[in-house]
A = this chain, B = another copy of it.
């Protein structure tokens, strides 16, 4: 349970905030971590780290700041450290140290275990360990119970810390929208076509020469991730691993000239065919677990169902609930399966940094961290 001092966004004093470090702080997701954690009621950024040439430089020199305005006050002058757990370990803190990781997959594979070994609770946005049986792949509203794997993970790996991962940007929005439908009507088949924003490709990511006046109908590895991670999130957790749900999923991923916000068209088949009204009702009433609802970064509600015929749209709906809600629209019958609908979610907030932060908040609130 969340302690009194952490229960309201305004109530925390800086002294009581938990120290966090950001790994891979200079990229698009790293910058989102900085943005979301500045003025966070529970967490305080005490360290920035990155691989390669960024280490040793000040953040303002090491990163090409991508968001409106300037680097949050004070952080631009902060030095970006090398990825060294010992040096990044907060001194004189009674709290479990927290590391948010936006590392590239290869670096994550090597470095995240070293942070867990050094005692960090690692909340990772990288795909390196998403499919390891003892490492939970979690979206709080969808499968918070998968965090029960952490004890097993610490035992097996002998780590004082641990790693929690969140899925890729597209899957997060999808899994939240599908969760209440799966609970109520038992999802069996999903045909998924995504229209993904360029920020999903990192920085510099896709060249303007490739995407202006164009669509690129291919994102390397994305379709496999969407299919597998959606099944994992809607699957079950046992004592020593997660089991993929038995759902047939076909994903087709496209890049479109949109800055932020992934749009996904879904055609869905269920065991118990829902009416459109029943499906809308299930999504509208969905709240996720009680423990998640009051978290500082939790959207309330997690799913917004819009009425307009031409919504959701990425530019208009990506920032709903400060970028943490999933917006659903055009829920209608499908001649092929049962239902069609469109969802939009913010790919670097809800779909990346915000997802890791919410995972951390959930464990803090649940008393899982010292």
Interface residues of A (CB under 8 A from B): 28, 66-69, 189-191, 193, 195, 198-199, 203-218, 220, 227, 248-250, 252, 254, 256-259, 263, 265, 267, 309-320, 329-330, 334-337, 340, 342
12 contacts between A and B (CB under 8 A): A67-B316, A191-B267, A212-B258, A213-B259, A213-B315, A215-B256, A215-B314, A218-B330, A248-B335, A250-B340, A252-B265, A256-B257
**Copies per complex of this chain:** 4
Instruction: Give the distance in Å from the alpha carbon of A341 to the alpha carbon of B203 in the complex.
Output: 28
Question: Given the complex, which residues of B lie within 8 Å of A259, measured CB to CB?
Answer: 209, 212-213, 315
Cβ contact within 8 Å between B250 and A313: no
CA distance A207 to B200 in the complex (A): 13
Q: Compute how far the CA of A220 lies from the CA of B340 in the bound complex, rounded to whole angstroms.
A: 16
Closest-CB distance, A157 to chain B (whole angstroms): 32
How many angstroms between the C-alpha atoms of A263 and B74 in the bound complex? Answer: 29
The answer to whether B319 touches A68, judged by C-beta atoms less than 8 angstroms apart, is yes
Contact A69 B227, beta carbon cutoff 8 Å: no
Q: Give chain B nearest CB distance to A20 CB in angstroms.
A: 25
A204 surroundings in chain B (CB, below 8 A)? 204, 207, 209-210
Q: How far is the CB of A68 from chain B (nearest CB, A)?
A: 5
Contact assessment for A340 and B252 in the assembled complex, using a CB-CB cutoff below 8 Å? yes
- Which of A68, A211, A256, A315 has the most B CB atoms < 10 Å from its CB? A315
Which of B208, B217, B248, B342 is the one whose CB lies under 8 Å from A217?
B342
Q: Which residues of B contact A330 (CB under 8 A)?
A: 217-218
